[in-house]
Amino acid sequence: MAEVDPGSVPVPGSEALNGTDAMNGTAAKFVATPEGTALAYGSLLLMALLPIFFGALRSVTCSKSKNSSDMPETITSRDAARFPIIASCTLFGLYLFFKVFSQEYINLLLSVYFFVLGILALSHTLSPLMAKVFPASIPIKQYQLLFTQGSGDAKEEIVNYEFDTKDLVCLVIGGVVGVWYLLKKHWVANNLFGLAFALNGVELLHLNNVSTGCILLGGLFVYDVFWVFGTNVMVTVARSFEAPIKLVFPQDLLERGMDASNFAMLGLGDIVIPGIFIALLLRFDISLKKNSRTYFYSSFLAYIFGLGLTIFIMHTFKHAQPALLYLVPACVGFPVVVALFKGELTEMFSYESPEEVIPSSPRLTSFPTVSGSPASLASSMDAVSMATGSSPHRRRLQPTSM
C-alpha cells in the first residue's frame, strides 16, 4: 500500500471512466466482452498472488537479517489499532485536496514522488535476481551518496545511500521504467511499480504476532466497508489518484491491444494488508519445525477464495466492493479453523515474530532513517509511505563503514 488503501476494488468496466475520453473531457462508457472481462479479472487475481507469495518467502530471509539497516518494520498492536484512523485521515485529506485543488497539479506532484519511490522499490525487488545473473567478469565497485546538515556534534544525516555496481544496474532499469511511467502513464509501467510496492510491503512490513494481525485486519475491515459503502470518498480518490498504488488491467485489451484504456483495478492495500498476515503465518509454520506450510497454504487459498468472491459479487451487482469485507474473514477464519482442527490454536496466538525480540529492530512508530543500502532505503521510504504518507525523519550522523 503506497499511502492508503486506495480502492479496495476491481471497478467494473461499465462504471470506470474511459482513459482516452477522460483526457478529452468526456466520459464514454465501454461495455466489456465476457472474454475481456475474464482476462482482466484473471490477470488482476494472478498479479495479486505474485507479490504475496514471493513477498512472504522473502520476508523469512528478511526477518533473519543481521544488519539492522536492512531489517523489516515491525507493526505492534498499538500501531495496528491506530492504523485505520491514520488511513482514514489520509484518505479524507486526499479527497478534500482533490475537491479543492486542481487534480492536474496534485497528480503532477504525486507522479514525481512516486517516480523516485518506484525506482527504489523496483531496484530492491530486482536486486536478488541481479545478484544471480550479474556477470562475474564485471568488477563490483562500492559507492556512497551522503548528504548531511550542520557540523560537529550537531551534524545530522539526511541521506546516506550505499550501493554497488549491481545496485546501479537495478537503479538504471528502475529509472527507465520510471521515465516511461512519468511520460506515458502506461498501465504496464504502473503495474511494474505497483507490483514492486506490494512485494516490498509484504516483505518488509512484519506483524509481531497473530493478535496484532487480527486487530489490524479487523480495523481495516471496518475502514474499508465504511469508506466504500458509506461514502463515495474511496472510489473518488481511487479514480482521481494517478499513482501506482493500484494494479490495473484493461478489459478492452483484446480489442485495442496495448493502447487499451478501460481498466478494472485493485488497490494495493487489498494485497499488502492480507499479505503481511499470510507472511506472518509462513514464519509461524517455519517456527513449528514440522517441515510443513499448512497455515501459509490455507491462508493463501483463503485469499484466492476471498478475492474471487469479491470479483464475483462486484461483477454481479455492478458496484465497487470493499475487498477486505471478503478477504479478512477468509484469511483469518481459514487458518483459525485449521489451528482448531490441529489443536494448535494456543501456539498460533502465542507465537512472536522473531525480529520483535531483537532490541535494534525498528518499529513502525519510529520512522526509519534514509540510510544504508538500496534495499534499506527502499524499505524505509516504502514502509513509511504505505503506513502514514509521511517522509522519514533525519537522525544524528553515525560513522558508516564501507
How does strand 156-164 pair with strand 371-372?
Answer: parallel
Residue 145: helix, strand or coil by DSSP?
Answer: strand
Spatial CB neighbours of 56, under 8 Å, sequence gap ≥ 6 = 202, 203, 275, 278, 279, 282, 296
Give the residues across from 247 on adjacent strands. Answer: 266
CA angle 60, 66, 67 (to 5 degrees): 110
- What is the torsional sign of CA 14, 20, 21, 23? positive
Strands 156-164 and 142-149: antiparallel
First-last CA distance in the chain: 32
Judged on CB neighbours under 10 Å (0-12, 13-18, 19+), 43 is middle
Taking a C-beta distance cutoff of 8 angstroms, is the pair 382, 197 a contact?
yes
- What cell does 123 get? 531496484
Judge whether 382 and 117 are in contact, CB under 8 Å: yes
Q: What does the block give as the cell for 241?
A: 489518484
Determine the Cα–Cα distance for residues 76 and 23; give it in Å rounded to an integer.
43
Question: Could you give the CA distance from residue 270 to residue 338 in angstroms, rounded to a whole number?
Answer: 23
Whether 270 is catalytic is yes
Residue 401, Cβ density class (10 Å: 0-12 exposed, 13-18 middle, ≥19 buried): exposed
Active-site residue, from 5, 167, 224, 285: 224
What phi, psi does 371 have (nearest 5°)?
A: -155, 170
Q: Residue 263: beta bridge partners?
A: 250
User: Which grid coordinates are listed for 28?
Assistant: 464514454
Catalytic residue among 5, 79, 270, 382: 270
CB within 8 Å of 76: residues ≥ 6 apart: 208, 212, 356, 363, 364, 365
Assess whether 224 carries a catalytic annotation: yes
Active site residues: 224, 270
